[in-house]
Structure 1
Amino acid sequence: MIPNLEQLRKNYEQFDDKKLLRIASEEAARLRPEALELLKQEIIRRGLTTDVVKAADVLTKEVSAEELADYVETMRNLPCPICGGTGEKLNATIVSNVMSFIVFTHQSKEVKIACPRCLNKQNNNAIMKTALLGWWGIPFGLIRTPAALMFNARQKAQNDLPEANDLFKSFVYGRLGRIEANKNNPEGLQDIITYIR
């Protein structure tokens, strides 16, 4: 059952600030227009940052290629979350690890945001770990290990591109609301790339 406007207003009034900010910066695109307006009113009534209202607006409108490029550059210029360096622009990779234990094979994939040097280290570590520990499961270790090794090598080739790779652009696009909400908060932007969810 869809709640009416009065029920929505009461819900928003009961939510703590953190939950309201999360809804505005991550879920605004899924709200119906009148619910979004109530959310904005509650944020303004509480005196929370207006950047969050802008974040909700970003999620509910079409973002141009130029706007996306600006967001991407903002995020690429942050310090590396692994080494803290600022000399190279950030990019993204996926690290695939395979570990086998006779009849059990576990494969994991994880997105990493960092400078190209740190991304290469992450992919190299995954290649080494998979090469040493991936083969020992029958039959999946023998199947998944070579696939993961090739996957990491292909990902590594994308780390040193002078422009943002497609994975980084997708990462940013999927977090536009959070980025807009933290535009004036360097620690908040850093958290987006450090604690990936």
Structure 2
Amino acid sequence: MNNSKSSGYDLKDIKVYYSQKSDYELIQITTERAQGLRPGIFEIIEKEIKKRNLNPALLESVKAQNRSYTFEEIVEFSQKLRTLPCPICKDKAVKLNGTVIYTVKSYIFSASLREELVIGCPNCLDIKNKEAIISTALLGWWSGTGLINTPISIYTTIREKRWHRIPKPNDALLRFTSQNIGQIVAYKDDPEQLIEIIRYKG
């Protein structure tokens, strides 16, 4: 039996696949899409990272996406994010938190519903919250679907505001931390990169 094959996939082919990726693509895979790796693939990624002399923390990111975290561990990582400058206004004095805003935009026969998770200081979260409510109130009503979704979205967005200023990580920030744990682990000692993550991944 060929040991390079397991469960219908060929490790030799996978090795070639990763070797053909650019550094940027390999970093993106290891920090964002490494969950559920099958046997043997971690070793291939490990060798590729070492061969290219990439940041060894990328391996920790792969491991992070393939293990379970306790609630306390997620809180600990989110606390690290809270101490960063606000990615929106750059304020360093106030701890960050998260919010989820919902916007509805109607078209002639349909409507789009957008859910956005935002990380920032409480003042910026309040502003984003208000902008979403105004946008939905102006643009959301003008279709059958929009007529239904608009009041729900406005109510849900307003409700989120109550959690912007609590003294601990709120549910939105914990959700963001859990969803992006691979990148957060990889760059836990790189504040600038963490800021980029919360700016563009929220």
Fold shared by both chains (TM-score > 0.5): yes
Query: How many angstroms apart in 1 are the aligned matches of 2:82 and 2:160?
Result: 18
Change over 3 Å in CA distance of 1:8–1:98 after alignment to 2: closer
Alignment of 1:84 onto 2:85:
no
Aligned with 2:34: secondary structure? helix
In structure 1, distance between residues paired with 2:156 and 2:73:
31
Partner of 1:121: 127
Structure 1 residue 103: Cα displacement: 4.4
Unaligned runs of at least 5 residues, structure 1: none
Specify which of 12, 26, 29 is matched with residue 20 of structure 1: 26
1:196 aligns with 2:201: yes
Instruction: Flag structure 2 segments of 5+ consecutive residues without an equivalent.
Output: 1-6
Identify the residue that residue 73 of structure 1 maps to in structure 2.
79
TM alignment of 1:39-188, pairs within 5 A? 39-101=45-107, 103-135=109-141, 137-188=142-193
Counterpart AA for 1:3: Y
Segment drifting more, 99-108 vs 30-39: 99-108
Contact 1:51–1:183 (Cα < 8 Å) also in 2: no
Q: 1:143 to 1:36 in 2, by over 3 A?
A: same
Q: Given the two structures, how large is their TM-score scaled by the length of structure 2?
A: 0.87
* Aligned-residue offset at 1:152: 1.2
User: Aligned partners of 1:192 and 1:159: how far apart in 2?
Assistant: 20
Shift of 1:21: 1.5
- Count of residue pairs brought into register by the alignment: 196
Give the percent of matched residue pairs that are identical in Structure 1 and Structure 2. Answer: 35
- How far did 1:149 drift? 1.6
How far did residue 138 of structure 1 move?
A: 4.1
Contact 2:110 2:144 in 1 (8 A): no
Q: Tell me if the contact between 2:27 and 2:58 (Cα under 8 Å) persists in the aligned partners.
A: yes
TM-score, structure 1 as length reference:
0.89
User: How far has the Cα of 1:102 moved from its partner?
Assistant: 5.5
> In 1, Cα distance between the equivalents of 2:20 and 2:92?
42
CA RMSD of aligned residues (A): 2.0
